[in-house]
Structure 1
Amino acid sequence: MRGKRSTTGAALLAGGLAVSGLAFAPSAAAVTPQSATITANCGFFGGGQATLTATQNGTAATLTLTATAITTPIALGQDSITSTLTLAKSGGGTVAFTGTKNPATPAGTPVTVGPLDGTVASGDTLDAYGGSLKMTVFGIPITCTATAPQAPGPFVFD
């Protein structure tokens, strides 16, 4: 009887450790890659390298763009840029991410917009190349386009 109890106790302990190990295991990323770089041309407003960071929670997704080479000539207040980031969908069509989120930005510093909200479907493969970023700052429209596919590759959503 004693051997049976210790075997049962050991099995319960092993099962408990396995379950707790799963509870503390890192969750898989829903979108891959989680970040990508592009080179953007914003016409009169300049251009250069930018980083896109993606997150996903079911069909809800967000994208944040930080344009390391594109700086603002004047200070911008928090949430003062209206943005629409449109990404090209593999197989045709586009998906838009919109919002008015941006940090307060001193003059001469890189521009960041987002997180911008969008809706994705499982299997969506999206690339900034073939899409655009449209921003409105103080009533002035600014359009940026990617000059090549994003690296390391398009975003693939679960």
Structure 2
Amino acid sequence: MRGSTGTGRGARRRRIAGAGAVTAAALAALSLAYAPAAGAVTPTLATADYDCGTWGAGQARLTATQDGTRATVTLRSSVRTPLAVGADTINATLTFAKAGGGTKAFTGTRNPALPARGPVEIGPLSATVAPGDSLNSYFAGPALTMSIFGFPVSCDAVTSQSPGPFVF
């Protein structure tokens, strides 16, 4: 009759097993809370030098984001526009070299309004990425092409990205 009151060995084992299950669940929840986000690009910020011919040359800051297979890159350059440029009027393609071969192009017509002699900023430019895509500066042709007021502007990458390629 001792087991029927819930104070016997069986009840004690159930309480210990229940406490163990609660502890395991709490530990699992904590490990999920501190785990890195799945599908996050690293690094999120890189720099590289570009030469845009008569528009100038200099360092650009590249900021990348990722949401599943959708990725964006925003470029802020030390290259300056000679004239004021309205918002969302620069049609741009930023091409990266993929590790293992091939390229990945990020495209869009997004930019803030730029004052005359202000630094060129474009993006976010978007593309679809696959897990493990590793993207770095593209050297086999123009890395950045822009159409500003209908005039084509081509920029060549001069350096690889620092601290390293974007890995999605």
Tell me whether the two structures share a fold, i.e. TM-score over 0.5: yes
Does residue 57 (structure 1) correspond to residue 57 (structure 2)? The answer is no
In structure 2, do the counterparts of structure 1 residues 113 and 60 end up closer, same or farther at CA, with 3 Å as the change threshold? Answer: same
Q: CA deviation at 1:62?
A: 1.2
* Corresponding residue number in structure 1 for 2:159: 148
* More strand per residue: 1
Q: Which amino acid aligns with 1:136?
A: S
Q: CA RMSD in A?
A: 2.2
> After the TM superposition, which residues 6-155 of structure 1 pair with which residues of structure 2 at under 5 Å, given as runs?
7-8=16-17, 10-22=19-31, 24-25=33-34, 27-28=37-38, 30-67=40-77, 69-130=78-139, 132-155=143-166
Q: How many residues are paired up?
A: 156
Unpaired segments ≥5 residues, structure 1: none
Change over 3 Å in CA distance of 1:93–1:5 after alignment to 2 = closer
Q: Do the aligned residues in 2 keep the contact of 1:126 with 1:154 (CA within 8 Å)?
A: yes
Structure 1: how far apart are the matches of 2:101 and 2:129? 14
TM-score, reference length from structure 2: 0.80
Instruction: Return closer, same or farther for 1:138/1:57 CA change in 2, 3 Å cut-off.
Output: same
Looking at structure 1, the residues matched to 110 and 61 of structure 2 have their Cα atoms a distance apart, in angstroms, of 16
Greater mean deviation of Cα atoms: 10-19 or 101-110:
10-19
Name which one, 1 or 2, has greater alpha-carbon Rg.
2
User: In the TM superposition, what is the alpha-carbon distance from 1:143 to its structure 2 partner?
Assistant: 0.8
Q: Distance in 2 between matches of 1:108 and 1:138?
A: 15
Output the CA distance in 2 between the equivalents of 1:27 and 1:110: 33
**Fraction of identical pairs, as percent:** 51
Shift of 1:18: 2.6
**Corresponding residue SS for 1:37:** strand
Residues 83, 135 of structure 1: 8 Å contact kept: yes
TM-score by length of 1: 0.84
- 8 A contact 2:39–2:67 mirrored in 1: no
User: Contact between 2:39 and 2:68, CA under 8 Å: does it hold in 1?
Assistant: no
How far apart in 1 are the matches of 2:118 and 2:61? 15
Structure 1 residues 123 and 28: alpha-carbon distance in aligned structure 2, compared to 1, 3 A threshold: closer
Q: Secondary structure at the match of 1:31?
A: coil
